Amino acid sequence: MGYISIIADDLTGASDTGIQFRKYGLKTKVIVDVNQLEQFLDGDEVLAINSNTRPLHGEKAYKIVYDICCLLKQSGFTRIYKKVDSTFRGNPGIELEAVMDALGANLAVLVPSFPENGRYMLDGYLKIAQVLTNGNGKEDMILINDGDQQLCHVPTLIKEQMIRKVANITINTVRQGIPAILSEIEKLYAKGYQVMIIDAVTKGDLKNIALACRMLPEETVMAGAAGFASFLAKVMDLPSDTLRESPSKEGIILIVAGTCNPTTRKQIDEVMKNTDANLIKINTGKIINGFTADEVEKVVCEMHELNKTNGVNGRISIIAVDSLFNANLYSSQIKKWGKTIAQAIGIIVGRLVDDQIVQSLVITGGDTALHVLNALKAKGIELEEEVLPGIPLGRLIGGKANDTPIITKAGGFGTPTAFLEAVKYLQTKETTMNIKYKL
C-alpha cells in the first residue's frame, strides 16, 4: 500500500511532480492510463497518476478526479497531492474540489509557484520570470521585473471554480516565517476559509510553507506545481529504498517534440549547434489533410537513412513538428488537429522502437508524451532521477519499449540548454552502464 499519491491532469505533470519524491529515495511510478490504476494499488510506491483531464470540461474532469480519489482512499492511500499546471491551464479549482469532496477534507493548501522554472506567485498573481543561472547551466535565482508575463490572478480563478471559500496568504506573511504562516492559516480557517492559496517567489519561501504544512492535520490536501511538491517530499517522514540500475542497450537517443512552445525551439537549436544530431521535421499539413500514413512512412525511412552511415549507437536524432519552427504554419488548425498529430508522432516512435534503433527517449509536450506511450503500450514510468528542475528520468514499465530510459519535459520548461544537458546526461549514463555490464 502506497503512502501518498499524486493526481496530475497530464502526463508530463505527473512525471515532473513524481520525480520530486523519487529523488528523496521513494519508489515512484507514473501511471499513464488511469484505467489501469487498479493493478498498481497493491504496491508500496508513490503513484503519480495522469488523469488526462486538462482538455475536458468541468463536470467530466470533476468526476474522473473524484473517482480516482475514491479508489485511492479505498485502497488505503492516506495522502493525495493535487498537482496543478504551472501556468494554470485546465480545471485547477474544479479538480481540487473533487479531491476535497472525495476525501471529506476541510482544508487545502495550494502553492502554484515553481521558481526553478521561472513561475512565481506574488499578491495572488501568477507570473513567469527569467531564470538566471550560476554559469554551470544550473538554476540560481529568478529575476523579477515589471515586464514579467502575468498569467492570471489565482484566487479569482479558483473562486470561480470552487464552492469552498478561498483566501490568499501573501508573501509578507510567508517572509515572517513558519509561525506566522501557521497563525494566518488558523485565523482564516476560523473565519470559514478552507482553501489557502499562498504566495511564493523563491525556494526558501517554498521551504517555509512546506515546514509550516508539516504542522497541519494529515488530512489537509496539498496542491500546487512540482516546486512545492519537492519540499513536501523533503519534510515528510516517508520510507525510502535504493535505486535500481538496469543495463543499457544500443540505439539512438531520440528527442521527440510535438509542442509549438518557443522554449522547445530554442532547446532544439542548442542541440543542433553543439552536436551532430539529425533533425527531421514532421509535415503537419499532410497529417491535417489525411495523409498520415504517408508522412509516417517518410519520417521512419528518413530516420533510418540518416542513421545508416555511422551506425545508430549513441547518436542523437530529433523528430519535431514543422509548426515549431514557423509559428504561423497551420496556426488556425494546430489546436483542432493536435490529438491527430500527437497520435501520428506516437505511431512514428512505435515504428522506430519496433525496428530496435531507440536506446532512450526524450519527449516534450504532455499530449505528445501520452500518445507516444500509448503507442508503445507502456503501462507507466518508474522514475529514477531528476536531470534538471522539473525534468525527470525514468524507465518505461511494460509494452514493447519496456525498461527503456525516458526523459519527459513540459513544453515551456527548462533553459535553452535543457535538451543538450539531458542528452549529455543520457550519454554519460549509457557509457557508465555499458562499462559496468560489459555490453
Report which of 107, 69, 109, 65 is spatially closest to residue 90, judged by C-alpha positions: 65
Question: For residue range 123-142, what is the model confidence (pLDDT) as tens digits?
Answer: 999 998 876 655 444 444 56
* Among 198, 253, 223, CA closest to 95: 223
State the cell numbers at 349: 516512435
% pLDDT > 90, the chain: 49
Write the burial class of residue 74 (CB in 10 Å: 0-12 exposed, 13-18 middle, 19+ buried).
Answer: exposed
CATH class of domain segment(s) 4-235: alpha beta
Low-confidence spans in the chain with pLDDT less than 70:
1-2, 44, 131-147, 237-249, 309-314, 327-335, 430-439
pLDDT at residue 76, as a whole number: 85
CA 80 centroid distance within chain: 17
Backbone angles phi, psi at 74, to 5 degrees: -65, -30
**Residue burial 204-241, b: 16+ Cβ < 10 Å; e: rest:** ebbbbbbbbbeebeeebbbbbbbbbbbbbbbebebeee
> Are both 4-235 and 252-437 of the same fold?
no
Alpha carbon distance 35, 33 (integer Å) = 5
- What residue spans define the domains of the chain? 4-235, 252-437
Identify the pLDDT of residue 432.
47
**What local confidence, expressed as pLDDT, does residue 249 receive?**
65
Q: Which cell goes with 51?
A: 488523469
The domain 252-437 having CATH identifier 3.40.980.20: the answer here is: yes
Predicted pLDDT at 142: 62
